[in-house]
Amino acid sequence: MGNFLKKDILVLLRDRTELILLLLMPVILIAILSFALRGVLGGETADIHLDIGFVMEDDEQQGIVTFIEELESSGMPLEVVQELQYAAEEAEPYTMLIDLLNHESITDMVTLVELDFLQGKEALENEEVSALLTIPEHFTYRTLQKMILNEGEGSELLITVKDYSSLTTEVFLNIINRFVNTLNFETAISHTLIEMGEEEMLYELAEQGDWGTQDFGGIESITPRDPITSFQYYTISMAVMFVLFVGSTIASKAYVEKKQHVFNRIMLSNQHPIIYLGGKIISASVISFIQLVILFLLSTLVFRTFPLDDLAFWGGIIIIGVILAICVGGFAALLTSIAVKYENDAINHIYSGGIVTLLAFAGGSFFPTSEMPSFISAIGNWTPNGAALTAFLKWMQELDLMVILPYLIRIAILAIILIAVSILIFPKRRSV
């Protein structure tokens, strides 16, 4: 089989078109996509800036006063009223929103411009602001009613935009949506605790002065490693996509060998057909692995994507790469079997022109599947490229083989199935 491997590598090296497709094209796409989306994946927002029109129609202090007056006239015990009053003064939903928008991680990206409604509408029409955020009348009062007493319908933040398709609009909407969802979630937890008979615990916290400052939770990274950058993501995503093209490349060469009677001459040399098919599997696997190594090293040297001196990191990358390469060998075997048996190269064109694109879309090669419906993400993790992409990303974050083992098993099982089916399809000596 070593001769078959040498032959396939030499044939591939002479085909400049295939070399451009397998090596140059993914490098170009890595550079384009990584620079275009730099910061969005890695959490760096220095390249994004939004001017937001801010319209304040509510009186926060008056809303708190109205809420407290309503508590005092409700007939509740004095100590309960005092505790709820303290909670209302600590909550201040409008102040929490402003604190969020004035946080250092947000101010680098968002600038608030205080306007009245007519000025804001005009600024939005003239594209002087990206969006208009309006705090409606009675916002504080209605929000406190819902948050503390679980009464009424609550209130809402009004956002007016001109172009929903712009990236800046989407970023701002995500910020506000996360604020609202977090506030609603924490409110629901408080109401659930009260319904479960935890009033005494909450009152005790209020009496101790810990209301609003007690740490019920927080944000904690589950990994000490840095977030995935756009260069890292698209290096991996392009690598796992373009490695699939090796399968059709090897199968196309096999079809040419069949048409030019090279295959028949190999059979006349007393080589078993399965040996020939095995040679294609090994050739595709080795070439796929070499392609992955070249892409990872080029990205590391040119864009400084991965750490060169982290042996543990590269050990896991090699393991994932080897298993993915064997799976590509399975694709090459299946395509070769079909092309040789039916003497038709159409399946290779369908695979490289359509199937790879569908696998890349479902597997997250174009953009993260977290931005797509959950069922697409689930399907993507069962595709070989999607499972490999997830395994690479998880390995980068956790360096734990047990975490990526399920994905490696999926890829290995698919490789076994592809090879087994290709052996069944491949023509036997008597039918060659």
Query: pLDDT digit string (tens) for 107-134?
Result: 777 888 888 888 888 888 887 888 888 8
For residue 338, the surrounding DSSP H or E stretch is helix 311-342
Q: Do 255 and 353 share a domain, yes or no?
A: yes
For residue 134, the surrounding DSSP H or E stretch is strand 131-135
The domain total for the chain is 2
- The answer to whether the CB of 248 falls within 8 A of the CB of 339 is no
Q: Do 29 and 164 share a domain, yes or no?
A: no
Q: What is the pLDDT of residue 200?
A: 52
DSSP 8-state class, residue 158? E
C-alpha closest to that of 31 among 187, 270, 209, 230: 230
d(CA 362, CA 264): 39
**Last residue of a domain, which of 173, 207, 241?**
207
Q: Do 26 and 131 share a domain, yes or no?
A: no
* CATH number of the domain encompassing residue 135: 3.40.1710
Q: Do 128 and 57 share a domain, yes or no?
A: yes
DSSP 8-state class, residue 218? -
Higher pLDDT, 240 or 53: 240
User: Domain for residue 74, yes or no?
Assistant: yes
User: Domain for residue 213, yes or no?
Assistant: no
64: domain range?
50-207
Q: What is the pLDDT of residue 395?
A: 93
Q: Do 132 and 202 share a domain, yes or no?
A: yes
DSSP 8-state class, residue 49? -
What would the DSSP string read from start to end of 52-104? EEEEE---HHHHHHHHHHHHHTTT--HHHHHHHHHHHHHH-HHHHHHHHHTSH
**pLDDT tens digits for range 279-321:** 899 999 999 999 999 999 999 998 888 998 889 899 999 999 9
Residue 238 predicted with pLDDT over 60: yes
User: Domain for residue 130, yes or no?
Assistant: yes
Q: Do 183 and 113 share a domain, yes or no?
A: yes
Q: What is the mean pLDDT of the chain?
A: 80
Residue range 341-367: mean pLDDT, rounded: 88
Distances (CA, A) of 341 to 187, 239, 337, 338, 425: 65, 30, 6, 5, 7
User: Domain for residue 224, yes or no?
Assistant: no
Q: Do 56 and 79 share a domain, yes or no?
A: yes
Residue range 57-83: mean pLDDT, rounded: 80
Q: Do 275 and 418 share a domain, yes or no?
A: yes
Q: Do 29 and 126 share a domain, yes or no?
A: no
Higher pLDDT, 310 or 267: 310
Q: Do 192 and 237 share a domain, yes or no?
A: no
Q: Do 199 and 271 share a domain, yes or no?
A: no
